[in-house]
Amino acid sequence: MKKLLVSFTLMLTLCRSYADEGMWLPMLLGQQVYNDMVKHGLKLKPEQLYSMNKASIKDAIVIFGGGCTGEIVSNQGLIFTNHHCGYGAIAAASTVEANYLQDGFWAADKSKEISSKLSVKFLNRIEDVTQKVNDALGNLSAAERTKKYSEVVAEIVKGIVGDDEFKDAVVASMFKGNQFFVFVYDVYKDIRLVGTPPESIGKFGGDTDNWEWPRHTGDFSVFRVYMSKDGKPSKYDASNVPFKPKYYLPVSLKGFKDGDYSMIYGYPGGTNRYETSYGVKLATDITSPTLVKLRDMRLKYMLEEMKKDPAVRLQLASNYAGIANYWKFFDGETKQLLKFDIFGQKQKAEIAFTEWAKGKSEYENIFTDVAKNYDAWNAYAKHRQYINEGILGSPLVAYAASWLSVENLLSKKDFKPEEIKKAMDAATAARKNFLADENKKSDQHILAAVLSMFYSDVDKDQHPKGFYEDLFKTNNDIEQNPYKMFAAEVFANTMAFDDAKWKAFTEKPNAADLGKDPAFKIAKSFIMNYNMNYVPKYAAFVNKNNDLNRMYLKGLFSKDSVKMNSTYPDANFTMRVSYGNVKSYAPKDAVKYDFACTISGVAAKYVKGDYEFDLPAKFLDLYKAKDFGEYADKKLNDVVVSFITTNDITGGNSGSPVIDAKGNLIGLAFDGNYEALSHKLAFDKDLNRTICVDVRYVLWCIDKLGGAKHIVDELTLVRN
């Protein structure tokens, strides 16, 4: 406990760097941080790390899809990222007959690469817009400040992007609204699948091994970005050519040892290390346990059906993976926050701040106001989680909720027929997508369970008026389970599944018929109840909290006489670099974990036919023959599958390159370790580890297992 207290206390006093903590803005590293990187082992110059005028490592890093990182690894636009980052695109390209998700895929040449709906973004430039934003916001607070902020951000973005669909700009708030940068991106929309290992490699270990070390998952996939013939960003076109990057990463076959330098670039999604004790308590007592409970239920019913049918497994795979990932994360985070008493540690820091703030009118009442703000919201926090993770966790109800906009149009006295037609065409298209992804059996179980759980767990005064009374009137056989009976009736009678009913409605849409649909009744009852009664409370809570947190951070900088550019802000999906070392660790008494694991460990976990630990026959044949090629670690005479580093990362860093002291790619970051899942709120300098797939295993899977050596030949390999 002492080790975490020390790290956390230093964080609250706005230290410049401590141990390997920090996701740094690469353009603001500063000499002190660079010197510390050199002490850790870095051999590169600052301009090689980041330069706006010359090619540098930052030019090889992309935002991949909607929430991951990728890296350019060849002069032909080849991208490495995680398997779970490409999962949706791989699943979309798969059919039961050509199941690339299950069996893997390697394009024999560029003409065989598969188009996707993905896009990637390259960072073009960064501008400090703090003065412009602050001038616009003036002394506004709470809701007025939020509204004005949205307006000024839209104005800045419009001024940069205009109508160019291949540019994007994001105004990012740093230090909870005390500093603002605009990040400008070039957007490429022709991204093609080059290759993926079988799911048994890319997800080996499944949920059992998720967030755990040792980890034997080959979490990688390969894509390529294309551009127009004249070198510009483009949508998919058969005449497009492979992208020519400003910079790409060489790939190292040299290996590494315990203690070697490691650096990670990428787009970490979000941390909240300046959160107050009140926010921590809300998370550990209400929001996280509720989320875990609801996701646990949803996963249970989905997995039951996935195990029965390969087609269902393929259908639900992407959604299941997304739900499962953060189900386990929030469970682990809660346990770590409680174990190390992060709540108590934050309280101590807040007491010290309040003592310093006495007599300073700008700061002295901050925590009195914070307490009042949380007191006003806490009673409704569970309800909000039940809407987002429970009621809308039923795909049917989530789809039926989209009909609210249709009802709104139909309820207008002066609606225009062309508006209705447009709305119905959109609803029909959405229905087609919904039905393609819908598994009725699991969803029906989910609906029954969540209605029961909402009734038991959410304060009765917050229930939608009349809903449960009506449910029990027609479903009053306790032995038969009224919730299961009700869910069965909903699924049997909604027009969402009935083509004839849907056709009749779309031909003569009216609010009365829509209001009778049982799925729509559920969606409307719960969502309208929440929107009318609790959304305003949540908005007031968030707006006030933003104001108070902004002032708290401003006060901390004043208290500790620290400049913003000398420390790192919370992650917010802007480019960051973290540095540390490859390093083993001892998580508990009498247990020490090595820094790397190997193919031998994969084979040792193999269970024939198992949902999580099966392996392709060719993998086992290659392993038995010790056919490792030049990808084996010379000391181990085995292929290193994954390794751990002390780097500071979070969600969004999935797919990020792990780079050695000389700038070579040695792996791809894909996970954190269970013992340090408190990292969004508090960094643990001793236990924090980033789990990375070794690039040599990636190449072994491509070449030996996949038979796609032509892809490896495209890389610049560093052997000495």
603: CATH: 2.40.10.120
Does 388 fall in a domain?
Answer: no
Do residue 604 and residue 653 come from a single domain? Answer: yes
Under 8 Å CB-to-CB from 367, ≥6 apart: which residues? 276, 350, 353, 354
Does 40 fall in a domain?
Answer: yes
Does 386 fall in a domain?
Answer: no
Which three-class secondary structure state does DSSP give residue 16?
coil
Which three-class secondary structure state does DSSP give residue 411?
coil
pLDDT for 475 equals 83
Rama region for 245: left / alpha / beta (φ>0; ψ in -120 to 50; rest): beta
pLDDT for 477 equals 73
Do residue 248 and residue 294 come from a single domain? Answer: no
Which of 354, 380, 406 terminates a domain? The answer is: 380
Q: What is the mean pLDDT of residues 28-52?
A: 94
Under 8 Å CB-to-CB from 513, ≥6 apart: which residues? 505
What sections of 534-624 are H helices per DSSP? 535-560, 599-605, 617-624
Under 8 Å CB-to-CB from 320, ≥6 apart: which residues? 299, 302, 303, 306
Do residue 103 and residue 154 come from a single domain? Answer: no
Do residue 578 and residue 694 come from a single domain? Answer: yes
Domain that holds residue 456: 394-533
How far is residue 603's CA from residue 594's CA, in Å, rounded to a whole number? 18
Packing angle between helix 310-339 and helix 83-93, nearest 10 degrees? Answer: 160
pLDDT for 478 equals 66
Percent of the chain with pLDDT over 90: 87
Do residue 110 and residue 141 come from a single domain? Answer: no
Secondary structure E strands in 566-664: 576-581, 585-588, 591-593, 596-598, 640-645, 657-659
In this predicted structure, the answer to whether residue 586 has a pLDDT above a threshold of 50 is: yes
Q: What is the mean pLDDT of residues 324-331?
A: 86
Do residue 552 and residue 579 come from a single domain? Answer: no
Number of domains present in the structure of the chain: 4
Do residue 683 and residue 576 come from a single domain? Answer: yes
For the annotated catalytic residues, the residue numbers are 84, 219, 654
Do residue 110 and residue 213 come from a single domain? Answer: yes
Does 7 fall in a domain?
Answer: yes
Does 586 fall in a domain?
Answer: yes
* 511 phi and psi angles, rounded to 5 deg: -65, -35
Do residue 60 and residue 204 come from a single domain? Answer: yes
For the ranges 415-419, 553-557, 657-661, the lowest mean pLDDT is seen at: 415-419
Do residue 580 and residue 614 come from a single domain? Answer: yes
Does 385 fall in a domain?
Answer: no
How far is residue 554's CA from residue 551's CA, in Å, rounded to a whole number? 5
Do residue 400 and residue 457 come from a single domain? Answer: yes
Does 387 fall in a domain?
Answer: no
pLDDT tier, 115 (very low <50, low <70, confident <90, very high otherwise): very high
How far is residue 193's CA from residue 290's CA, in Å, rounded to a whole number? 37
Half-sphere exposure in the Cβ direction for 697 (13 Å, CA): 29
Does 389 fall in a domain?
Answer: no
Do residue 638 and residue 628 come from a single domain? Answer: yes
In this predicted structure, the answer to whether residue 375 has a pLDDT above a threshold of 90 is: yes
Which of 320, 349, 380 terminates a domain? The answer is: 380
pLDDT in tens, 498-557: 999 999 999 999 999 999 999 999 999 999 999 999 999 999 999 999 999 999 999 999
DSSP state of 676: G
